[in-house]
Structure 1
Amino acid sequence: MTDIAYCTILSTNYLPKALALAESLRRHEGDFSLTILVTDAHSSAQLPQVPPLDGVRVVGTDVLGLPERDLLKLATIYDLVEFATAVKPLLLKGLLEESPAAAYLDPDTYLTAPMVELPIDLAATEGGILLTPHFLEPVTDPEAMLQEGHLLNVGVFNLGFCAVDRRAIGFLDWWWGHLERECLWDPLSGLFVDQKWVDIGAVLFHAGAWQHAGYNVSVANLHERPIALDEDGLYVSSTKDRLRLFHFHAFDTAHPEELSTRLIGSTSHLREQSRTLDGLCREYAEIVMRYEAELAKAPRYAYAADTAGKPLSRQLRRAYRLSMDEDATLPVPFLPEEAEAWASWRRGAWRTEAKELAGDAVKSVRLVLPEEYGRLKKRLPGVSSKLKAKLVRNQGIWH
C-alpha cells in the first residue's frame, strides 16, 4: 500500500463525484487508501449507503476527535462549503497518526495517470507541505477565464489539492487555529474560506509550491495548461508534463456541455476547441452519472435548517458565531431537545444580525469611499471609535 493516505471531504450530494475519484485512484494508484468524510453524518449509523470499494473508507465527523456539540456548533456558524473546508486540517492530522503522509483531494478531482512525482516532491519540501498554485506563469492571455487579479480574492493556491507529511503537524495546528472560527467566505474582510490563510501559512511553514503543470489542472488554468493526447496518454502540451490530476470544478452532469457551471458565462467553447478535453469530460461524466443512478437521491443538507425546518441564513450563522464568544451555553439548532431554547435565541438574534449587517455596511463605506470615511473620522471621532470597536471585529482591515 502507498505511504500516502488520501482523503476527501463532502456532503452527501457529492458522493457520486467522490466515488468517481475513488475509481480513478483504483485505476492509477493500485493499492490505495481513500477516506471519504461525509460532513452531514456524525456517526456510522448516519452514513449513506455506498457500494463497497476496495481501499475506500466512508466516515462521519466523529473521526475528527471533537465533541459532537462542538461539531454541531461548527455546522451552525458555517455553511456547507465553509464547514467542509474548515475541518480539513483535522482530518489530515488524524491520517498522519496512521500514515507518514496524507493528501487531500477535492471530491471533484480525477486522476488521469499515476501520481509518481507526489511522494518524491513532497519529501523534497522544507516544511513537509506541497501546494498547487492556480497559475504557474504570468497571465498574458486577455481571453483567459480568470486573470491574476482573481487570486487577490481567492488566494494563490487552489486547495482542491494539498499534501503533507508529519513535519507539517505545526502547520495543521496553526491552520485549524484560524479555521475553527475564521473559515469564512467574506470578501469584505479579505477571507475566502481556507485558502487565503494558506497564503500566509505557506511562508510561515515553508510550503513547497509545486511547479509540475500536470497537477490540479482546471478551468482556471487551462489557458496555460492545454491538454493533449499521445500514445502514452494525456499531457500538458505547453510544458510536456504528463497530466496527473484534473479538477472538474463545478462540473454538473445536468449541464453536460459545460466544463464548469460556476463562472460567469458559458465554458462550453473550451470543450468545443479541444477534442481531448471534451473526451476527458465525457469519460468523467459517464462515471459520475453511473454513480448518480446507483446511489439513492441525496437528502437536503442536514445543517441547512433547524429542527423546525427554518433555514439558517448567512446573517443568522454570523450572529451565532459572534454570540459564541459571549455565551458558551448557546442552544444548538439541530437538536430536538433544544428546539425551544433555540427558537427563543433565534427570535432575539435580530439585534446581532443587524449589528453584523451594519458592520458590513461600515466596511463597505470604508473600502468604497475612503476619503469620505476619513472625513467622518475627523468630524465625528467618537462615532468612528464606536464603529471600529463594536461593528467590525478581528478582521484586521482597520488602519
Structure 2
Amino acid sequence: MTDIFDKTPSKPSKEPGMIVFTICSRNFMGYAQALWESLKQHNPDVIFHVGLCDEVGDFDVLTHPFEIIQISELGISRWEEMVGRYDITELNTSLKPFLFLLLFSRYPGQPIFYIDPDILAFAPFREISNLLDDGANCVLTPHVNGPSEYAEMNDQQFLRYGVYNLGFCLLRATPEVRRVVSWWARRLETQCVVDLEHGLFVDQKWADLFPAYIDKTAILRHPGYNVAYWNLAQRLVGQDNNGDWTVNNEKLRFFHFSGNKIENENEFSRHTQIFTIDTIGDVKDILAIYRLAVERNGHAYYRGIPYAFNWGHEGRKNVHTPASMQADRQLNASHIPHLPLEFIADDAADNAREPLPAWAAQRRAVDQNIRKKAISGIEIEGFCAICNEARHFSDPGLLEHPQPSVWSQNFICNTCQTPSHTRAVAKLLAQTNAAPSARRIMTDHPALLTCNWLALKAEVIPFQEKATSIDVAVICDSLDEQDLAIKFTQAFTAIAAGGHILVSYPMPLDTQLKDTLRRLLKTVGFSEVRMAFYWSEKLCHFGDPQIILIGHKPAQTDKFLSPAVLHVPIDKYSDK
C-alpha cells in the first residue's frame, strides 16, 4: 500500500487536456481531492473545478489547488425554493446543468466532463478522446452493457433509476447542447427528486432523453468505465502481467465507489446485499487504494464540517444518503485542518501548476490584507501544526521593516515560535502514511525534535553526520547554500534505500534557486525529485510560491560520493 511519498508524480503527457468538474458539499472535499489527484496523475493538464453545494462560511476555499465554484456564481433564480425543497442528494445533483452552463460560457465549443466525487481514475480516458475526435457532442455510460434479468440490479431497476449513470457525463459546449442543458436546468429547479412512482430519480432519469435530444450522442460501452456495484455481475476485475487493473481484459479507466462508507473497512456499498467485502474479489484491493486516497486527502477533517442545508427533507426519507452517516462522521472527525498540496514532477514545467487568474488574484488579495494586519501589529488567527491547536501568528520582521522585499514565509506561531515553512513540513508528515510507519526521522529543526505528536509516531533525532537507517530526513533550518550542500550529502548517506528527503526553504524559491536545489539533490544521488506547493489561510501559510522539495533515495545505487562534493559551491551545480 503506497503513501504520498511513493505515488507517481504528475508529468507532462501527450493526452489531451480535460476540463472537469465535480459537485460536493464541504464534508466531501476529501473525496473531491482524491478524484482530482487521480485525474491529474493520468492527465497532468486537467483543469479541475468543484461546484460547492454548501455555504462557504469560514471554509478555506483558496487553499485547494483547483477552483471552487460557489452557488452565487451560478445565477440560479429559484435557489431559495430549491434549498427548501431538496435533501442533500437532490440539491447536489440539481446543480449539474447550471455548472455545465457556467463552464460552457468559459470554454466555448470545448468538451466538459462531469465526474462524481466518489470516483477514482486508474488510467487515461483514451476511448473518450477517440469519441471526441469523431465529433461526439455527448458521451454517456450505461449502467450495464447487456440484459441483467437475474442480477440483483436487474433490467427493471434501470428502467426506474435510469439507463445511464450520471456519475459521469460529457457534454460539448455547442449551441445545440446548451439549449438542451438549459431545458435540463429548468426541469431540475423543481423536479430533481427521488420519486420513482412518477418516473423521476434526481437528475439522472432526464438523461435517458439525451440521445434523442442531442445529435452525435455516443454511448460508451467499454467495460472499464464507470465500474460499480450495479454492473459487477457483468464485469470481471483483475490485474494484468504489468500490474495494471483490467475489466473483462480491458483497461480499467475509472471505478465508481457509490454507496461506500469510507470509515468502514468491511463495507463495500450500502446499496447492495450481494456484493460485499467478502465477495468482490480483487475489487477489495481497489477499495483499499481508494480508502487510502480519500483519507490522505483530509477526510478525517472534512467529514466533520456540518452541511448548511437540509440533509433530509421533512416528510420524506433520504434513502440515498442517511443522515445518520453525517452524525457519526461529525462525532469522530478531527479538528485539525487539512493542508492540500499539489505535487509537480521534476521534469514538469513550473507553469504547469499556475492557478487560474481569478484564483491567483483572490489569494493575493488575502495576502495583502494579512500583510496590512501584520504591519499594524495585529495577531493573525490560525492553526499550528506543531502545537496541534488554534494559535495566534505574527511576522516580527514586518514590525521592524514594514516594507520588506520578502515577508510571505516568515509568519511564526506565537506559542511555539515555529516558522511557516517548518510547520508546513510537519503537516506534510502528519498527512502521509509514511509518518506512522517511519521508524526514524532526522531533522535539523528543534521544533520537530520536541513535537509531541511526531514523537508518538516515530523516533526523531537531530541531524547528524553518522546517522544510519533513516526513513525521512527533514531539512528546514538552513539559509546558507553551502550548508545545504553538506546536509544533502549527509542525508543521502544516512537515509535507508527507498527513504526520502524533505527540503523546506525559509525564503521564497525563485526559479533559479529551485533549479539549483533540485540539481544538487540529483547530483548527490536523490531521484524522482518533485515539488509540493501549498497555501492556506487556516494554517497561516501565505504567499506564492511556497514549496517543499521531496527527493527519493533509490533502492539500489552505485553512485560514489566524493568528499569533495561537500566543498563545492552550490552555484557549480547551476546551469551556465
- When normalised by structure 2's length, the TM-score is 0.49
- Larger-gyration structure (1/2): 2
Match of 1:208, SS state, is strand
Aligned counterpart in structure 2 of residue 202 of structure 1, from 191, 202, 211: 211
The match for 2:165 is 158
> Any residues of structure 2 matched to 1:101-120 within 5 Å, and which?
101-120=111-130
Letter in 1 for 2:24: L
User: How far did residue 123 of structure 1 move?
Assistant: 4.3
The match for 2:183 is 174
Contact 1:106 1:161 (8 Å CA) reproduced: yes
Contact 1:47 1:60 (8 Å CA) reproduced: no
User: How far did residue 254 of structure 1 move?
Assistant: 2.2
Match of 2:82, SS state, is helix
Distance in 1, Cα, partners of 2:104 & 2:264 = 38
The match for 2:235 is 225
Gaps of 5+ in 2: 1-11, 319-576
The match for 2:223 is 213
Distance in 1, Cα, partners of 2:99 & 2:62 = 23
Distance in 1, Cα, partners of 2:62 & 2:187 = 36
> Any residues of structure 2 matched to 1:244-263 within 5 Å, and which?
244-263=253-272
Letter in 2 for 1:254: E
Letter in 1 for 2:18: I
Distance in 2, Cα, partners of 1:316 & 1:146 = 22
Aligned counterpart in structure 2 of residue 121 of structure 1, from 125, 131, 134: 131
Match of 2:250, SS state, is coil
The match for 1:371 is none
> Any residues of structure 2 matched to 1:141-156 within 5 Å, and which?
142=150, 144-156=151-163
Distance in 2, Cα, partners of 1:109 & 1:75 = 26
Q: Residues 268-315 of structure 1, C-alpha deviation per residue, up to 9 Å, x if partnerless?
A: 2333xx2x311111011112122345534433321128xxxxx85146
The match for 1:335 is none
Contact 2:17 2:43 (8 Å CA) reproduced: no
Residues 187, 115 of structure 1: alpha-carbon distance in 2 compared, 3 angstrom cutoff = same
User: How far did residue 47 of structure 1 move?
Assistant: 6.2
Match of 2:167, SS state, is strand
Q: Residues 24-65 of structure 1, C-alpha deviation per residue, up to 9 Å, x if partnerless?
A: 012111121111111112xxx5362368454x2122112212
Letter in 1 for 2:289: E
Question: Which range moved further: 117-126 or 100-109?
Answer: 117-126
Letter in 2 for 1:26: K
Q: Residues 176-207 of structure 1, C-alpha deviation per residue, up to 9 Å, x if partnerless?
A: 12112111111221111111111123222242
Aligned counterpart in structure 2 of residue 10 of structure 1, from 6, 14, 24: 24
User: How far did residue 118 of structure 1 move?
Assistant: 1.8
Match of 2:73, SS state, is helix
The answer on 1:136 being equivalent to 2:137 is: no
> Any residues of structure 2 matched to 1:1-399 within 5 Å, and which?
2-41=16-55, 46=57, 48-49=59-60, 52-54=63-65, 56-67=66-77, 70-99=78-107, 100-124=110-134, 128-139=137-148, 142=150, 144-167=151-174, 168-206=177-215, 207-230=217-240, 231=242, 233-237=244-248, 240-264=249-273, 267-271=276-280, 274=281, 276-292=282-298, 295-304=301-310, 312-314=313-315
Percent identity, aligned pairs only, is 28
Distance in 2, Cα, partners of 1:269 & 1:153 = 28
User: How far did residue 87 of structure 1 move?
Assistant: 1.5
Q: Residues 143-202 of structure 1, C-alpha deviation per residue, up to 9 Å, x if partnerless?
A: x33111110210100000000112321221121121121111112211111111111232
Distance in 1, Cα, partners of 2:202 & 2:299 = 32
Q: Residues 103-132 of structure 1, C-alpha deviation per residue, up to 9 Å, x if partnerless?
A: 000010110111122232134355x11000
Residues 296, 90 of structure 1: alpha-carbon distance in 2 compared, 3 angstrom cutoff = closer
Letter in 2 for 1:151: F
Residues 134, 315 of structure 1: alpha-carbon distance in 2 compared, 3 angstrom cutoff = closer
Match of 2:230, SS state, is coil
Q: Residues 232-269 of structure 1, C-alpha deviation per residue, up to 9 Å, x if partnerless?
A: 611112xx321101100011122212221223466223
Letter in 1 for 2:94: A
Residues 145, 29 of structure 1: alpha-carbon distance in 2 compared, 3 angstrom cutoff = farther
Match of 1:216, SS state, is coil
Letter in 1 for 2:97: P
Q: Residues 190-234 of structure 1, C-alpha deviation per residue, up to 9 Å, x if partnerless?
A: 111111111123222242211211110111101111111111611
User: How far did residue 78 of structure 1 move?
Assistant: 1.2
Match of 1:18, SS state, is helix
Match of 1:7, SS state, is strand
Question: Which range moved further: 148-157 or 91-100?
Answer: 91-100
CA RMSD of aligned residues (A): 2.5
Match of 1:283, SS state, is helix
User: How far did residue 136 of structure 1 move?
Assistant: 0.7
Distance in 1, Cα, partners of 2:295 & 2:152 = 26
The match for 2:566 is none
Match of 2:35, SS state, is helix
Q: Residues 6-30 of structure 1, C-alpha deviation per residue, up to 9 Å, x if partnerless?
A: 0001112211111110110121111
The match for 1:339 is none
Residues 228, 76 of structure 1: alpha-carbon distance in 2 compared, 3 angstrom cutoff = same
Contact 2:23 2:51 (8 Å CA) reproduced: yes
Match of 2:233, SS state, is coil
Contact 1:79 1:314 (8 Å CA) reproduced: no
Distance in 2, Cα, partners of 1:258 & 1:152 = 27
Contact 1:175 1:201 (8 Å CA) reproduced: no
Residues 176, 296 of structure 1: alpha-carbon distance in 2 compared, 3 angstrom cutoff = closer
Higher relative contact order (CA 8 A, sep 6+): 1
Gaps of 5+ in 1: 306-310, 318-399
Distance in 2, Cα, partners of 1:315 & 1:293 = 28
Residues 312, 185 of structure 1: alpha-carbon distance in 2 compared, 3 angstrom cutoff = closer
Contact 2:26 2:302 (8 Å CA) reproduced: no
